[in-house]
């Protein structure tokens, strides 16, 4: 299983409309693997856009 940290350092995306305060709004569920994806981290977003991928092992 690929670790999140294997993809390199965090890549922080920017959002229009300023900072969100509700943490839940940063996450969506990937339709391919069912894992929660933090849309603020482009490593995760890019990974989960691959057509055939496995869930990422989260850093703890």
| Piece in contact with Zn ion (CB under 5 A), picked from 2-10, 16-24, 40-48 | 40-48
Instruction: Tell the smallest beta-carbon distance from residue 48 to Zn ion (Å).
Output: 4
Closest CA to 58 of 30, 19, 31: 30
| Piece in contact with Zn ion (CB under 5 A), picked from 9-17, 18-26, 41-49 | 41-49
Residues in CB range of 19: below 8 A, 6 or more apart = none
Q: Among 4, 7, 33, 45, which residue interacts with Zn ion (rule: CB under 5 A)?
A: 33
Question: Which parts of this chain interact with Zn ion (CB under 5 A)?
Answer: 30, 32-33, 48
């Amino acid at each position: 299983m690929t670790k999140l940290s294997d993809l390199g350092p965090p890549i922080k995306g920017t959002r229009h409309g300023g900072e969100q305060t509700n943490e839940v709004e940063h996450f969506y569920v990937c339709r391919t693997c069912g894992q929660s994806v933090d849309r603020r981290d482009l490593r995760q977003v890019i990974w989960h856009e691959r057509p055939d991928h496995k869930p990422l092992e989260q850093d703890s």
